[in-house]
Amino acid sequence: MSSAGKLSPATAIFIIIIILLSSFSGNFTVGCYTSIFSFGDSLADTGNSLHLSQTIGYHVNSGTFPFGQTYFHRPTGRFSDGRLIIDFIAQHLGLELIPPYFGERNHDMFMPGINFAVGGSTAMNDSFFDQKGIHEPYKNVSLIHQLSWFKQILPSYCHQSNCREIFNNSLFLLGEIGGNDYNHAFADGRSFEEIQTFVDPVIHSISNTIIELIEIGAVTFIVPGNLPIGCISIYLNNFSNSSKDYYDPETGCIIWLNEFSQYHNDKLQTELTRIRDLHPHTTIIYADYYNSAMAIFRNPSNYGFKEGELGPCCGGSNDKVSSSKNTDEKYSCDGPETKTCDDPSEYINWDGTHLTEAAYKWIFKGLLKDYSYPPMENSLCNGGLSLHHNEL
């Protein structure tokens, strides 16, 4: 071969590296986000409420087994038997699991990001509920507080000169948040009409937080909507009705509660469109938790779940753990003697309020494929360069 046809040593090494990289299975991801900053409630909490409970003194059952049994094999403070949607997002992007803000904090461990989400959190501040006389079990953990924690950590995380660069390569997960604003009111016996008036203030709080984060330097957001609460075990129990017309014949979910979730989600999407128009340089992805979950509730067997099973895997009385409308009024998924189903992967509902790891996995896969706007797979990383359908 002539010298013109020979490869230089550097070029040969480069080609070998490319071949080796391309030979990896779908589990390999080329990361384009270095960090995830997360805000929200128990659907995204990776341990903050557990750490807070040790200082504030309120009981958090997510710190006891069987929570965490499926993936971590120990309780981590996550309100599920395993991973949450935020965990699947991090793993899909090739990042480590995002550590909670509270607890064993170490600034060196913040490279994959920080999670400020706390179980029981609300979008509205405590004073909103105090003025309405609504009992709020968890104080000082609202979205407003979470944003203040983020601002407090900024001097330790980045300097004025490089914050923008870091945030350009960061993903901001804002939610799910707002569900507890309604949950507390429903639990307090407030009317549908009154609770519906909470939606605009909740959306306003979410909107203000997004805009503040944009002003700080955030560029890419995932903003989830609310889940279909009419399919959640505790709502099926607390709002049971003898009328067949009360329930969706296809799913067994309570129709009016799901319509309420859709009302919130419609308002949220309208507001996200407004923010996109004001800040065209940002990417704001609406994550449609509702419809991704409803795809599972409509055809559970397609995803490996039991047909017609809306009861919780964990909690309830010994003979009613599988019942959707006759479970104990207060679920008990707390401690080693708790009754659990044999296989959590066959159940959508975990503890009456939260979902199983299996459900969260399928919801996340649905978000990637069909249930996000703009499409998550195409919007992340300038065309999805880092997103491969790895086995989760």
Model confidence at 33, in pLDDT bands (50, 70, 90)? confident
Between CA 380 and CA 392 the distance in angstroms is 18
Q: Which two tokens stand for residue 240?
A: 């049971």
Helices (H) and strands (E) in the chain, counts: 15, 6
Please answer whether residues 341 and 306 qualify as being in contact, where contact means their C-beta atoms are separated by less than 8 angstroms. no
In a domain, 317, yes or no: yes
Please answer whether residues 279 and 218 qualify as being in contact, where contact means their C-beta atoms are separated by less than 8 angstroms. no
Handedness of CA 52, 56, 61, 64 (dihedral sign): positive
Return the CA Rg of the chain.
22
Between CA 171 and CA 174 the distance in angstroms is 10
Residue 193 CB-half CA count within 13 A: 0
Residue 350 is part of which domain span? 35-384
Active-site annotation holder among 35, 38, 41, 42: 42
In a domain, 196, yes or no: yes
In a domain, 302, yes or no: yes
Please answer whether residues 372 and 287 qualify as being in contact, where contact means their C-beta atoms are separated by less than 8 angstroms. yes
Q: Quick: pLDDT tens for 343-389.
A: 999 999 999 999 999 999 999 999 998 999 999 887 666 433 333 33
pLDDT at residue 24 greater than cutoff 90: no
| CA-angle at 152, arms to 86 and 172, nearest 5° | 25
Model confidence at 25, in pLDDT bands (50, 70, 90)? very low
pLDDT at residue 142 greater than cutoff 70: yes
Q: Quick: pLDDT tens for 256-271.
A: 999 999 999 999 999 9
Q: Which two tokens stand for residue 376?
A: 């998550």
Q: Quick: pLDDT tens for 188-238.
A: 999 999 999 999 999 999 999 999 999 999 999 999 999 999 999 999 999
- Top pLDDT among 138 and 365 is at 365
Crossing angle of the two packed helices 289-298 and 357-369, in degrees rounded to 10: 120
| CA-angle at 62, arms to 59 and 68, nearest 5° | 160
User: How many C-beta atoms lie closer than 10 Å to residue 9's C-beta?
Assistant: 8
Is residue 351 part of the annotated active site? The answer reads: yes
Active-site annotation holder among 81, 181, 334, 351: 351
In a domain, 370, yes or no: yes
In a domain, 27, yes or no: no
Please answer whether residues 108 and 192 qualify as being in contact, where contact means their C-beta atoms are separated by less than 8 angstroms. no
DSSP states along 317-386: -TTTTT-SSSS-SS----STT--B-S-GGG-SBSSSSSB-HHHHHHHHHHHHHTSEES-HHHHTHHHHTT
Based on the structure, what is the number of domains in the chain? 1
Please answer whether residues 111 and 172 qualify as being in contact, where contact means their C-beta atoms are separated by less than 8 angstroms. no
In a domain, 306, yes or no: yes
**Residue 23 DSSP label:** T
Model confidence at 155, in pLDDT bands (50, 70, 90)? confident
In a domain, 391, yes or no: no
Is residue 354 part of the annotated active site? The answer reads: yes
Helix (H) or strand (E) holding 14: helix 9-22
| Among 209, 216, 46, 51, CA closest to 125 | 209
In a domain, 23, yes or no: no
Active-site annotation holder among 292, 354, 372, 386: 354
Instruction: Express as a percent the part of the chain with pLDDT over 90.
Output: 67
Which CATH number goes with the domain that contains 359?
3.40.50.1110
Q: Mean per-residue pLDDT for 303-316?
A: 91
Is residue 181 part of the annotated active site? The answer reads: no
Q: Quick: pLDDT tens for 247-301.
A: 999 999 999 999 999 999 999 999 999 999 999 999 999 999 999 999 999 999 9
**Residue 30: per-residue pLDDT:** 39
Q: Mean per-residue pLDDT for 30-50?
A: 89
pTM: predicted TM-score of the whole model, two decimal places: 0.86
**Residue 327: per-residue pLDDT:** 40
